[in-house]
Structure 1
Amino acid sequence: MSVIQIEKVSRWYGNVVAVNDVTMTIGPGVTGLLGPNGAGKSTLITMMAGFLPPSVGAVTLDGVPVWRNEKAYSAIGLVPETEAVYDVLTGSAFVQANASLHGLDAPGAAAAAAIAVVAMEDAAERRISTYSKGMKQRIKMAAALVHEPSVLLLDEPFNGMDPRQRLHLMELLRKMGSDGRTVLFSSHILEEVQQVATHIEVVVSGRHAASGDYRAIRTLMTDRPMLYRLRSSDNRRLASALIADPSTAGADLDTAAVQIRVVDFERFSRLVPSLARDLGIRLLEVSPTDESLESVFSYLVGRR
């Protein structure tokens, strides 16, 4: 069970601050790292992998700094956002080269096993120059897994993958997390983060903006109304009764449903069933319309 600890870390390039006083803990399971372009995600991942030192603060793996720590490197697998492959090599040769760099006793067997994990056996003997972007992502994944690291760091791993490849990677990340590995990945494909990650870290403008699962983060946003969609046997009467209560801040009504802006969720959750019962209205649907990770992320970005 490996744990990465980032403690009061900042990283700057000249006068440009890429990461500013970030503290977070990445433990076993799957963690999604979210943030807009330029938020500092890649810089954080590079520091976690031990390829870049923090300007201030510490990045440790199980309590030991990762920068210039050979033992830490052997426990970490990195899938960078950049191509980071040699097009003249076959996929098999590329993964074997990484196995040899890690000093594995049987690099060929280790490479074959890692390639099988990412389902690239059929293309293993082709040159990487013939690969699609999604295939290159998968062969990078194999190279990162060849030494069976306890920590896997992936920077935008879903880029360029088709739907089938994405589903395969999602299943693989879930399995690795359930097996006790520490997996962190960044992605702009928010729906997939929502489906795969059990924990989320949000970085905005180089700062740590939020931590938790997306529902817990959304619950903290008490200054922004939650949006709920309701369908019933009498939407107009239900909307009129709901907007008279202080738990709501307004409603939008159309022919199919009513959308309610909720400012006091606990009161609202008690109000709806009792109100429907008292009015003799049958409830057909009560569901949140902005509980997606995208809405959470947009809100956090807007606060900065």
Structure 2
Amino acid sequence: MNTVELAGVSRWYGNVVAVNDVTLSIGPGLTGLLGPNGAGKTTVLHLMAGLLAPSQGQVVIGGEPAWANPAVYRKLGLVTERESVPGFLTAWEFVLASAKLHKLPDPAAAARAALETVDLRDAQDRRISGYSKGMRQRSRVAAALVHDPDVLLLDEPFNGMDPRQRMHMMELLDGMAEQGRTIVFSSHILEEVEQLSGTVQVIVAGRLAASGDYRHIRRLMTTRPHVFTIASSDDRLLATALMGEPSVSGVSIAEAGLQVHTSDYGAFTRALAKIARARGVRLTTILPSDESLEKVFSYLVTT
């Protein structure tokens, strides 16, 4: 099974706690590990990859312990944040060396397949030192994929990429996830996670602040207000009616329509249609205006 599981995992360095009692389970598909710089994302990934021993708790990859278990690397691939690609090698030489290190039965065939996956076959004989940032990153992904792992971990994979390179990498990761791989990538850029993955693990100050679909997480935050933009056939009539709804804390009329503040997502969404129908008002737009990942993240950090 290609699952990644952390059970009560902590990691500390002297008096500094980098990761504090994190428990999570990640299965096939794309999962974003989200948090500000210094939140502990890299430490969590290194624990998953078996590069660090947990000070407390257990990390399991596909049913096997990650730490002090070289066999786990048969099913695991890692792309670190720091570039450590020898520029004097070609992509072919680099990926082939990785295949040989894994002692694959046909390293040349595996290297060709990995380079094909990341669309580097045409440039495989050029030295990596002459590659763009995006191409260097793809060569590193190819080396991590050469043994066809079930689990792929990537630390800030989009750093330094231009928009075209970022889009290509997103398409690549999305395609691999559809094949059934478990892919975990870290990022502090909210838009990257929002575009690529509906599932997030939010790390704040070394703790798991939230886990799951970011829209669902937002709706569970009942102590925070929700804001909707609503357009209708008669905004003024609807605004007057909504002011009498207990779940509505405020209504204002803007150019895009009504801005409605509510403290109870479920109660409001259930009442809205009934109120509009009773007043003979036709609803044309209902848009939660604060459900972007950026809003969710800011709420989690300040809670």
Query: Does residue 1:65 correspond to 2:87, yes or no?
Result: no
Query: Does residue 1:82 correspond to 2:82, yes or no?
Result: yes
The 8 Å contact of residues 227 and 261 in structure 1, kept in 2 or not, is answered as yes
**Structure-2 change in CA distance of 1:255 and 1:184 (3 Å):** closer
Partner SS state of residue 59, structure 2: strand
Amino acid paired to 1:91: A
Q: How far apart are the structure 1 equivalents of 2:138 and 2:14?
A: 35
Query: Does residue 1:193 correspond to 2:193, yes or no?
Result: yes
Q: How far apart are the structure 2 equivalents of 1:274 and 1:294?
A: 31
1:198: Cα distance to partner?
A: 4.5
Aligned to 1:144: 144
Query: Does residue 1:12 correspond to 2:12, yes or no?
Result: yes
Identity %: 57
Amino acid paired to 1:173: L
Q: How far apart are the structure 1 equivalents of 2:76 and 2:273?
A: 51
Partner SS state of residue 22, structure 2: strand
Amino acid paired to 1:142: A
> 1:87-129 CA distances to partner (integer Å, 9 max, x unpaired)?
1211211111111111123322211211110111222111111
1:266: Cα distance to partner?
A: 2.4
Aligned to 2:2: 2
TM normalised by structure 1 equals 0.94
The 8 Å contact of residues 45 and 153 in structure 2, kept in 1 or not, is answered as yes
Aligned to 1:274: 274
Q: How many residues align?
A: 303
Partner SS state of residue 51, structure 1: coil
Q: How far apart are the structure 1 equivalents of 2:79 and 2:136?
A: 11
1:132: Cα distance to partner?
A: 1.7
1:222: Cα distance to partner?
A: 0.4
Amino acid paired to 1:88: F
Greater Cα offset, 111-120 or 266-275: 266-275
The 8 Å contact of residues 249 and 262 in structure 2, kept in 1 or not, is answered as yes
How do 1:103-142 and structure 2 match up within 5 A?
103-142=103-142
Aligned to 1:182: 182
Aligned to 1:255: 255
1:82: Cα distance to partner?
A: 0.7
Q: How far apart are the structure 2 equivalents of 1:194 and 1:29?
A: 14
Greater Cα offset, 16-25 or 242-251: 242-251
> 1:162-205 CA distances to partner (integer Å, 9 max, x unpaired)?
33333332233223222222111112332332233242211110
Q: How far apart are the structure 2 equivalents of 1:274 and 1:54?
A: 53
1:45: Cα distance to partner?
A: 0.4
Partner SS state of residue 77, structure 1: strand
Aligned to 1:284: 284
The 8 Å contact of residues 32 and 185 in structure 1, kept in 2 or not, is answered as yes
> 1:20-53 CA distances to partner (integer Å, 9 max, x unpaired)?
1111112222211111111111001011111111
Q: How far apart are the structure 2 equivalents of 1:56 and 1:267?
A: 42
Amino acid paired to 1:202: V
Amino acid paired to 2:84: A
RMSD over equivalenced CA pairs, Å: 1.6
Unaligned runs of 5+ in 2: none
Amino acid paired to 1:186: S
Question: Post-superposition, which runs of at least 4 consecutive aligned residues in structure 1 deviate over 6 A?
Answer: none
Partner SS state of residue 164, structure 2: helix
Aligned to 2:47: 47
Q: How far apart are the structure 1 equivalents of 2:294 and 2:256?
A: 25
Greater Cα offset, 143-152 or 5-14: 5-14
Aligned to 1:296: 296
Unaligned runs of 5+ in 1: none
Greater Cα offset, 98-107 or 161-170: 161-170
1:143: Cα distance to partner?
A: 0.7
Partner SS state of residue 104, structure 1: coil
TM normalised by structure 2 equals 0.94
The 8 Å contact of residues 95 and 111 in structure 1, kept in 2 or not, is answered as yes
Amino acid paired to 1:111: A
The 8 Å contact of residues 29 and 198 in structure 1, kept in 2 or not, is answered as no
The 8 Å contact of residues 198 and 213 in structure 2, kept in 1 or not, is answered as yes
